[in-house]
């Protein structure tokens, strides 16, 4: 009795954690699911990786004030360090962190080309979609699937100028031209589509890409509108002749090419990923990244055979992303919400989405490495954000069972769909035609 009373008291005084709101059996089941991660920027194996990390500042330093979950001294990283490197401490003492950084460097070295796969194994991730300019060493196997950037195709006249900052290196229309040995930019829009857009998509699909990604919201609003081919062709011809385009003409050409690229991606079985919602840096323009702005494109008849994923689920516009999931061709992942939100806040988003269109919701970690984050890089994000997603999912589903919205069996089924099965079906990862 005494022991029981003591345990009860412990339970009352223990800090409230995410796990208190999750059915432990359901969470255990979810922890066993071999996940498919819809959106990462996982790095390839690289012997030089980490060479700039400083032993005396193991946590690195930030360029601007990070949000709390991404701060280098967020205590949640400790769990990732334990999983990845066997960190035994519960603190961030400088001596412990120096030791930790050298343990990470040693394990990376020993892992060599296997390191990217080792990280996936530690996170319980079976397959990661990697959004980068190319896959690299250690990523060319059945565990990593490529998602190249389609934005350069929107800007035929940008040349070598990379309009956006892409993870994994620069990507430009001039480079895509070189890869296809197209020496001069075609004179007409039709020829541009035939000689550059179409063959690039075909080549990507052939080399194993499962989707293409647009970061366009970093450069303009997502309100792509259908435009007449003649107007776009006239704008293209004008620029091809060396004249500058005004903002309306520029937009006309972008809008036209967006529809062309998306329709053709669909024909090539490439899913279209679109960055929606908050982006990198304190000066990102959220308003023009609202998923609601995509509604005209998502509804348009020529794009109904293309499947779209609202990457990041549009946060802070998550109800707007949810509303878009009604459309048969539209899906969402909750990548980046994994680090914008606390576990409980993420669970609240998931509960709404899963009570709406659970077949359209996918797990994504948005793991990436920052300029100077030695101990909160892609590895730590891959582990922590996957774990956090499993917990948030368990909390949401536990509440849905408790409120008798779904059965226990359906909760487990939905968990498998979100962590794995929805992505397997969308990208045909099981090899089905
Ligand atoms: Zn991302």
- What is the pLDDT at residue 18? 58
- What is the pLDDT at residue 63? 82
Helix axis angle, 378-402 relative to 24-31, nearest 10°? 140
- For 260-295, the DSSP string reads HHHHHHHHTT-EEEEE-S--SSTT--SGGG-GGGGH
Distance 82 CA to ligand 1 centre (A): 25
Distance 366 CA to ligand 1 centre (A): 5
Distance 313 CA to ligand 1 centre (A): 12
Distance 19 CA to ligand 1 centre (A): 27
Q: How far apart are CA 63 and CA 202, in angstroms?
A: 39
Q: How far apart are CA 302 and CA 235, in angstroms?
A: 22
Q: How far apart are CA 373 and CA 371, in angstroms?
A: 6
Q: How far apart are CA 53 and CA 169, in angstroms?
A: 20
Distance 393 CA to ligand 1 centre (A): 20
Distance 32 CA to ligand 1 centre (A): 25
Regions of the chain with pLDDT less than 50: 1-2, 4, 6-16
Distance 275 CA to ligand 1 centre (A): 8
Distance 273 CA to ligand 1 centre (A): 10
Distance 381 CA to ligand 1 centre (A): 12
- What is the pLDDT at residue 323? 98
Distance 339 CA to ligand 1 centre (A): 12
Compute CA distances 350 → 195, 342, 343, whole Å: 43, 12, 11
Q: Which two tokens stand for residue 110?
A: 């020993």
Distance 16 CA to ligand 1 centre (A): 31
CA atoms within 13 A on the CB side of 191: 10
Return all residues near 288 (Cβ < 8 A) that are at least 6 apart.
217, 220, 221, 222, 223
Distance 368 CA to ligand 1 centre (A): 7
Distance 13 CA to ligand 1 centre (A): 39
Q: How far apart are CA 414 and CA 398, in angstroms?
A: 12
For 215-248, the pLDDT digits (tens) are: 999 999 999 999 999 999 999 999 999 999 999 9
Distance 367 CA to ligand 1 centre (A): 7
For 315-350, the pLDDT digits (tens) are: 999 999 999 999 999 999 999 999 999 999 999 999
Distance 279 CA to ligand 1 centre (A): 9
- What is the pLDDT at residue 276? 98
Domains of the chain listed by start with CATH number: 21-148+270-427 (3.20.20.140)
Distance 215 CA to ligand 1 centre (A): 9
Distance 214 CA to ligand 1 centre (A): 11
* Number of other residues whose CB lies within 10 A of the CB of residue 12: 7
44-72: b (≥16 Cβ within 10 Å) or e: bbeeebeeebeeeebbbeeeeebeebebb
């Amino acid at each position: 009795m005494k022991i029981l009373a003591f345990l009860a008291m412990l339970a009352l005084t223990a800090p409230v954690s995410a796990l208190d709101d999750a059915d432990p059996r359901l969470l255990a089941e979810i922890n066993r699911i071999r996940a498919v991660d819809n959106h990462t920027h996982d790095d390839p194996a690289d012997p030089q990786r980490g060479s700039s990390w400083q032993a005396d500042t193991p946590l690195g330093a930030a360029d601007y004030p990070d949000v709390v979950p991404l701060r280098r001294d967020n205590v949640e990283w400790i769990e990732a360090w334990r999983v990845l490197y066997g960190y035994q401490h519960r603190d961030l003492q400088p001596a412990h962190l120096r030791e930790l950084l050298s343990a990470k460097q040693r394990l990376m070295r020993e892992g060599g080309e296997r390191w990217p796969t080792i990280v996936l194994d530690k996170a319980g991730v079976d397959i990661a979609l990697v959004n980068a300019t190319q896959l690299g060493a250690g990523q060319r196997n059945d565990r990593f699937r490529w998602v190249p950037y389609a934005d350069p195709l929107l800007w035929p006249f940008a040349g070598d100028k990379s309009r956006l900052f892409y993870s994994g290196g620069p990507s430009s229309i001039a480079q895509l031209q070189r890869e296809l040995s197209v020496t001069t930019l075609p004179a007409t829009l039709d020829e541009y589509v035939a000689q550059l857009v179409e063959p690039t998509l075909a080549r990507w699909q052939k080399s194993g890409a499962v989707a293409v990604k647009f970061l366009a919201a970093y450069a303009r609003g997502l309100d792509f509108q259908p435009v007449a081919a003649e107007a776009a062709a006239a704008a293209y011809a004008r620029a091809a002749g060396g004249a500058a385009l005004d903002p309306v003409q520029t937009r006309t050409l972008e809008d036209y090419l967006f529809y062309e690229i998306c329709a053709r991606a669909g024909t090539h079985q490439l899913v279209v990923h679109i960055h929606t919602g908050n982006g990198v840096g304190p000066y990102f323009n959220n308003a023009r990244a609202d998923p609601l702005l995509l509604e005209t494109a998502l509804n348009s008849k020529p794009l109904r055979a293309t499947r779209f994923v609202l990457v990041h689920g549009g946060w802070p516009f998550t109800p707007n992303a949810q509303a878009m999931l009604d459309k048969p061709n539209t899906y969402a992942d909750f990548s980046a919400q994994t680090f914008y939100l606390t576990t409980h806040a993420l669970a609240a988003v998931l509960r709404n989405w899963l009570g709406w269109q659970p077949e359209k919701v996918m797990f994504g970690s948005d793991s990436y490495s920052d300029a100077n984050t030695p101990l909160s890089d892609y590895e730590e994000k891959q582990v922590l954000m996957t774990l956090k997603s499993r917990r948030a999912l368990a909390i949401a589903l536990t509440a849905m069972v408790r409120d008798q919205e779904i059965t226990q069996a359906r909760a487990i089924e939905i968990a498998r769909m979100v962590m794995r099965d929805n992505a397997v079906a969308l990208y045909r990862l099981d090899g089905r035609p």
